[in-house]
Structure 1
């Protein structure tokens, strides 16, 4: 997949809009840590409730944990990344947002697939996934390329898209 500005003229370019990518990898790392803490708390709460209910349901609640825990994690990503804010809680705290690059909407299913590909790529070979982002101009990781997404800083992005829409109006 080519990421030239000629192919996607509305895609932000680090040369012309560096403020969108300043400190992006550091922000992504801290957002990841915040999200892992939130997911850990979510898993612990569901596990404790399941453990207590397991005694009253003769173990059926313990069996349901096999489905409830992954569904809770999937729901977290689908509700946060699939929302109009297009960011998890950690991403919102770090002022970053997930943006589709292929012209398709970022809905709940795409958010879930993005998270799934992220976790699989991290699980398979996390050093390569992280190093990949150091050598791409837009600081995209492997899962961003696969899913056709781009992570940018939110507040400068809003100003960038406003400038782009104004330029499009004057070019008409």
Structure 2
């Protein structure tokens, strides 16, 4: 199977299903650790973004002499609830990886090799956040039960995570 790394134009990096981990192990090398570290770093970034947004909401509340409290408190709660979803959806749909995922050389691709769409980025993120807390992280065990290291939300969103630099090394 020949692979190539296209610009984010919609071209597929491979034809058909994702490359087999036995034929191309370099694409999946170290994914579990890299994904975990990237998630942790993204959560640190989101924490600081959330603190900043809560600070702005707090300032608006105080500046209005608490008259805006009925609006700012629900707004702050909505921002805290949806900030991680919006953050991951945007970056996965726009660039194929959140900033931390890019730092750890990861990229989310559609199962057929094309760049993940904005809808897939949203679905990938929404399924992750909807399932990871109620399952007490057990859904992530799925990654250790398959050779491509796909988590449950990867299966349900039709995505696969690969090492971006290794994908670029293939020639058409």
How far apart in 2 are the matches of 1:76 and 1:34? 13
Q: Once the two structures are superposed, what CA deviation does each residue of 1:17-62 show, in whole Å capped at 9, x if it has no partner?
A: 1111111100000000010001111111000110111123311322
User: Taking structure 1 as reference, are residues 117 and 38 closer, same or farther at Cα in structure 2, changes over 3 Å only?
Assistant: same
Verify: 1:92 aligned to 2:99, yes or no: no
The answer for unaligned runs of 5 or more in structure 2 is 1-14
Q: Identify which range, 29-38 or 112-121, moves more after superposition.
A: 112-121
Corresponding residue to 1:148 among 155, 158, 165: 158
Corresponding residue to 2:84 among 73, 80, 86: 73
- TM-score with structure 2 length normalisation? 0.81
How far apart in 2 are the matches of 1:119 and 1:63? 20
Partner of 2:40: 33
Which structure's relative contact order is higher, taking Cα pairs within 8 Å and 6+ residues apart? 2
TM alignment of 1:7-86, pairs within 5 A: 9-57=16-64, 58=67, 59=69, 60-83=71-94, 85-86=95-96
How large is the Cα RMSD of the aligned pairs?
A: 1.9
- TM-score with structure 1 length normalisation? 0.81
Q: Identify which range, 29-38 or 8-17, moves more after superposition.
A: 8-17
How far apart in 2 are the matches of 1:104 and 1:151? 12
More helix by share: 1
